[in-house]
Amino acid sequence: MTAYWESTAPGAGRRPARADAPSDARVLSLNGTWRFRLAPTADGTGPGFVADGFDDSGWDEMRVPSHWVLEEFTPLAGGPARSMLGTAEGPLYTNTAYPIPLDPPHVSTENPTGDYRLVFELPDDWVDGTVLRFQGVDSCAKVWLNGTELGWSTGSRLPFELDAPVRPGRNVLAVRVHRWSSGTYLEDQDMWWLPGIFRDVELIERPPGAIDDHYVHADYDHETGTGTLRVDATTEAVVEIPELGIRMATGETARVPVEPWSADVPRLYRGTLRSTVETVELAVGFRHVEITGGVFTVNGRPVTFRGVNRHEHHPDTGRTLDRETMVQDIVAMKRANVDAVRTSHYPPHPEFLRLCDEYGLWVLEECDLETHGFIYAGWEKNPPADPAWRDALLDRVRRMVERDKNHPSVVIWSLANESWTGETFTVLRQWVADRDPSRPVLYERDPSYRDSDFYSLMYPSLEDLDRIGRRAEDTPDGVTPAEDERRRSLPFLLVEYAHAMGNGPGSLQDYRRIMLEHDRICGGFVWEWIDLGINAVTADGTAHVMHGEDIDYEPCGGRFNLDGLLFSDRTPTPALAELAKAYEPVRVTVGADGVLVDNLRHTADTSDLTFTWTLTDDGEPVADGVLDVPAVGAGGQGRVAVPVPAHPPRGTLVLTVEARTAADAVWAPAGHVVAWGQHVLAEPPVRPLPRWSDDGDRAPGGADVTLGPGTFDAATGRLVRLGDLALDGPVLDVHRAPTENDHGQGDLNDLASVWSATGLDRMLHRTDLVERADDHLRVAGRTAPTTHAHGVDWTMLWQPDGAALVLTVEVELTGPWADTPHRHRDILLPRLGLRLSLPSAYARARWFGRGPGETYVDSFEGSRLGTFDRAVDDLQTPYPVPQENGNHVQTRWLELTGKDVPPLRVDGVEGYPTFDFTARRWTSQDLQRARKPHDLRDSGRVWLNLDHRQQGIGSASVGPALPERYRVPRERTTWSVRLQAG
Ligand code: IPT
């Protein structure tokens, strides 16, 4: 006999799926403290625990909702508290591989099973017809009430309801939850495996005449401005929308002028659906979704999603989220100009969608279905291709659509993620088309796209995306000409791009520009919103963020669960500022005499925005004012002059124009900056390079060599004193601590291992020449790795310039840099620059350039040009996996200061007006070695990098190689920089 948890059936005894909506029906929340006992196999504690009189006094206490693997539980009978974090019994992270043998639909006998018990009192006046609702149980639950079995279900992120014959007074609920079940095969998403009753449990009163299910059909005709409303329900009821003067019966249709719903103007009409015994709340949004001429439109206008992929995550409670956390996500998204969410890779808690309706976010809702791990069997027995699983798959899609069909925010249904192909997708697609013809369907992974209304890919390169935009993409293998032709006619949806793992992603602006250029591309969804790290402590009590590699378990998804725009605790990473810029709904292009305003929004004009201008001279405000920008309609453009006063510049003169919200919104108080633009009106002349001549006397110098304010070590040629500052350096630096993106994806684009295989992280220096002439000092040498023959020949030419020194560096790479014994065709240099060792007293940095956050050559547009002042310690971005961070591109000048040390000033010079800098208390090698932030220790020095160039960040951890233009070309290079102390 097949055990229920190993059956391909999705469940038994459950009520039909239905819409989730607030109503005045009485609800008894069963959230709270339950009794719990964990057992090693699916037998749990045995058959006895369902009995009314079962003695659970020795059991543990368990919070519901929660994932038991994240809870610390103390046996009621005494004994030590248990935390499973970091063990194979605890949260496990796999990316694509199953944590059970690939033996569908069976699971291992080792199957941690939690038996839950709750005794609750029912109010005396409670009527019959009660429904027991579980909003989410991972992964399979069987339920008993007062000793009677009610049913069982799989489908972790989907609700199920059971008829619950409650009795007055005391009731006993018993639930057995299996960690592994046949459902596991359908839930192979790249995330933590987190079992438990992790969403709400509630009892709902259902007297005769209650409204079981209702379906709101709210359409919008953009030509006439007319909304059409019909509400169907399983019970006769009255529909009332007072604001629209609508009062009608279910099944009747009303046509009224309305304002449409959109993500930027989320106009909801509140109302009720009233039967004799129940009133359901309606939040109606009128909108019309349609694909026409290969373009995805809502209300007659193309939509270009500014999207993110969102997993439900909290670093302490996993996928158990409270409403406040959901609001926090939505507010942060709206403030970062995000207007669309893909609910990767499962339906979220239903409250999240109510909030999306209200705050305004387009939702691409994805079903709880992923069978990625079948890839390890060559997709043999893949459930979508096996009719035995058809009911289970259909059950999931049905439960999603039925639950969420009434949300205006949901504009596309996604059948699954990463589940390859199978006939069942056609069945699912057909079912959705019949049940809900108002929304298109997406399925990304089948190369024929026959069951998808969109062409879609993940992580294409910029070139490929551009080709797709032009409908000129290559034909994928194994598709018929008819399929190819149909696919070419479809809109393109970039379901995942810009893998935000660690430092990065780069190129957000590049992707956005391409998306806006082509109507075919209906936008994209960055992977992903938030790092999925879990708060943990080491054996010695140090707090850290746990990722997959912290658990000794195979298969292991590594650190790929730390790939969000927010850190696990929801503080934004620098990428969020970059995203906010790329996703600006209004583009502000500032010129010398005025500003061009492009309204890229879908619906709203710009009348909700205030435009202000500021003139700064080397970062100091000089003048400002408010601009009178007449309202620019959605898709329109406006131009206004800026009354910039004449101002003789001292430094760099920058005109900044900002568009701020004029009034408070639910997601931001008035004054929130939605968009901004800058224009450099004047730049001071860059300091000229001092003249020098090769003529005159030259001498090797004595023990110490002096030149202007500088003293050099005669043997190494390094600067040891600059004015009153004792320092050491510079040395040529061609390395950086690899970012997650530098590690690439498996063997693909793994620059980090090339760097260490070719020794870039262990360069040694040799000085060949230290030669003092009248007006300069020439130092020459070679920097090269151990083991290898390749290296960098360099010359550093020092010249006095008043109280300063000007350094001109010339480098020549000597080979062979390619075709080394390793597989490296092309060794990229992560940086080309100089590293100085400074006294640890340097504590602050002031600079003019991009800031205040870190910037790289492919991710700086979200950071303004200005003067910034930061503590050295605050220049570090605390990535939970230490890696290169804290760079600043386009720096014109930099000043480091500290107690009892002279200010150190660095300027660009003629021909080389800008440089990159980083300042930190540890070296790149320390950063590279550290596994956690707490491994980083103050080295007792401040390490200052002044770089000619550092390569971009890219997103190769899952994505294309770093574009050529963001690399450091391996060619003969010269640059100069000016240093002054005091
Ligand atoms: C893609 C997955 O859909 C997503 O869940 C996540 O794993 C992401 O990659 C990488 O972090 S699938 C991948 C094979 C492109």
Inter-residue contact 653 to 865 (CB < 8 Å): no
**pLDDT tens-place string over residues 525-551:** 999 999 999 999 998 999 999 999 999
Pocket test residue of 379, 461, 496, 563 for ligand 1, highest count of atoms within 8 A of CB: 496
Helix 574-582 / helix 508-517 crossing angle, nearest 10 deg: 20
CA 284/CA 354 separation, integer angstroms = 11
What residue type is 361 in one-letter code?
Answer: L
> Measured in angstroms, how far is the CA atom of residue 131 from the centroid of ligand 1?
38
Q: Using CA positions, which residue lies closest to atom 4 of ligand 1?
A: 190
Collapsing DSSP to helix, strand or coil, 424 comes out as helix
pLDDT of amino acid 127: 79
Ligand 1 atom nearest to CA at 560: 11
> Which residue is catalytic, options 6, 351, 418, 578?
418
Ligand 1 in reach of 527 Cβ (< 6 A): yes
pLDDT of amino acid 702: 62
Q: Extract the tokens encoding 885.
A: 């961070």
Could you write out the DSSP letters of every residue in 139-201? SEEEEEETTEEEEEEE-TTS-EEEE----SEEEEEEEEEESS-GGGGGB--SEEE--EE-S-E
pLDDT of amino acid 128: 77
What residue type is 79 in one-letter code?
Answer: G
Per-residue pLDDT band for 696 (boundaries 50, 70, 90) equals low
Per-residue pLDDT band for 825 (boundaries 50, 70, 90) equals low
Per-residue pLDDT band for 476 (boundaries 50, 70, 90) equals confident
CA 707/CA 801 separation, integer angstroms = 10
> Measured in angstroms, how far is the CA atom of residue 417 from the centroid of ligand 1?
9
What residue type is 784 in one-letter code?
Answer: A
With a CB cutoff of 8 Å and minimum separation 6, the contacts of 383 are 104, 185, 186, 371, 374, 389, 392, 393, 419, 422, 424
Ligand 1 in reach of 368 Cβ (< 6 A): no
User: Pseudo-torsion of CA 587, 592, 593, 597, nearest 10°?
Assistant: 0
pLDDT of amino acid 758: 87
Ligand 1 in reach of 188 Cβ (< 6 A): no
Is 82 a residue whose pLDDT tops 90? no
Q: What is the CA radius of gyration of the chain?
A: 32
**pLDDT tens-place string over residues 871-921:** 999 999 999 999 999 999 999 999 999 999 999 999 999 999 999 999 999
> Measured in angstroms, how far is the CA atom of residue 530 from the centroid of ligand 1?
14
CA 122/CA 741 separation, integer angstroms = 56
> Measured in angstroms, how far is the CA atom of residue 384 from the centroid of ligand 1?
19
- The strand ranges marked E within 234-278 are 238-241, 246-249, 253-257, 269-274
pLDDT of amino acid 139: 98
Q: Which residue has the tokens 């971005």?
A: 877
pLDDT of amino acid 699: 65
Between the alpha carbon of residue 415 and those of residues 251, 290, 363, 444, 446, the distances in Å are 29, 18, 14, 9, 11
Q: Catalytic site residue 418?
A: yes
> Measured in angstroms, how far is the CA atom of residue 335 from the centroid of ligand 1?
26
Q: Extract the tokens encoding 929.
A: 């070695």
Q: Which residue has the tokens 């040799």?
A: 766
Ligand 1 in reach of 740 Cβ (< 6 A): no
What is the value of pTM for the model shown?
Answer: 0.97
| Average confidence (pLDDT) over 735-748 | 95
CA 347/CA 339 separation, integer angstroms = 18
**Which residues make beta-bridge pairs with 292?**
295
Closest among 732, 726, 844 to 781, alpha carbons compared: 732
* Mean pLDDT over the full length of the chain: 96
pLDDT of amino acid 129: 84
Inter-residue contact 202 to 125 (CB < 8 Å): no
Q: What are phi and psi of 322, to 5 degrees?
A: -90, 170
Edge-to-edge strand ranges of the sheet holding 864-871? 698-699, 763-773, 777-785, 791-801, 804-814, 973-981, 901-907, 893-898, 842-851, 864-871
Burial of 703 (C-beta count, 10 Å sphere; 0-12/13-18/19+): exposed
CA 34/CA 201 separation, integer angstroms = 11
Ligand 1 in reach of 191 Cβ (< 6 A): no
Q: Using CA positions, which residue lies closest to atom 11 of ligand 1?
A: 560
Q: Using CA positions, which residue lies closest to atom 5 of ligand 1?
A: 190
User: Looking at 165-169, 277-281, 554-558, 690-694, which range is the least confident one?
Assistant: 690-694
> Measured in angstroms, how far is the CA atom of residue 497 from the centroid of ligand 1?
10
Q: Using CA positions, which residue lies closest to atom 2 of ligand 1?
A: 190
Q: Using CA positions, which residue lies closest to atom 9 of ligand 1?
A: 958
Q: Catalytic site residue 281?
A: no
Pocket test residue of 526, 563, 958 for ligand 1, highest count of atoms within 8 A of CB: 958
Is 193 a residue whose pLDDT tops 70? yes
Is 943 a residue whose pLDDT tops 90? yes
Ligand 1 in reach of 414 Cβ (< 6 A): no
pLDDT of amino acid 827: 74
CA 492/CA 530 separation, integer angstroms = 25
pLDDT of amino acid 76: 72
Ligand 1 in reach of 458 Cβ (< 6 A): yes
Could you write out the DSSP letters of every residue in 638-685? EEEE--PPP---SS-EEEEEEEEESS-BTTB-TT-EEEEEEEEEE-PP
Ligand 1 in reach of 116 Cβ (< 6 A): no
Closest among 163, 279, 160 to 210, alpha carbons compared: 279
Q: Please state, as a whole number, how many other Cβ atoms lie within 10 Å of the Cβ of residue 689.
A: 16
> Measured in angstroms, how far is the CA atom of residue 459 from the centroid of ligand 1?
9
Q: Please state, as a whole number, how many other Cβ atoms lie within 10 Å of the Cβ of residue 940.
A: 10
| Average confidence (pLDDT) over 57-77 | 90
Per-residue pLDDT band for 770 (boundaries 50, 70, 90) equals very high
Is 734 a residue whose pLDDT tops 80? yes
**Which residues make beta-bridge pairs with 466?**
none
pLDDT of amino acid 268: 98
With a CB cutoff of 8 Å and minimum separation 6, the contacts of 221 are 227, 228, 288
Q: What are phi and psi of 847, to 5 degrees?
A: -155, 160
Inter-residue contact 390 to 381 (CB < 8 Å): no
> Measured in angstroms, how far is the CA atom of residue 744 from the centroid of ligand 1?
14
> Measured in angstroms, how far is the CA atom of residue 322 from the centroid of ligand 1?
26
Ligand 1 in reach of 417 Cβ (< 6 A): yes
| Average confidence (pLDDT) over 504-516 | 98
> Measured in angstroms, how far is the CA atom of residue 517 from the centroid of ligand 1?
26
pLDDT of amino acid 818: 62
For the chain, percent of residues with pLDDT exceeding 70 = 98
> Which residue is catalytic, options 351, 370, 496, 578?
496
Q: Using CA positions, which residue lies closest to atom 6 of ligand 1?
A: 190
Ligand 1 atom nearest to CA at 459: 15
Q: Extract the tokens encoding 536.
A: 């943990």
User: Pseudo-torsion of CA 628, 631, 637, 639, nearest 10°?
Assistant: -10
Is 824 a residue whose pLDDT tops 60? no
Could you write out the DSSP letters of every residue in 369-397? -B-GGGGGGTTTT-GGG-GGGHHHHHHHH
**pLDDT tens-place string over residues 235-261:** 999 999 999 999 999 999 999 999 999
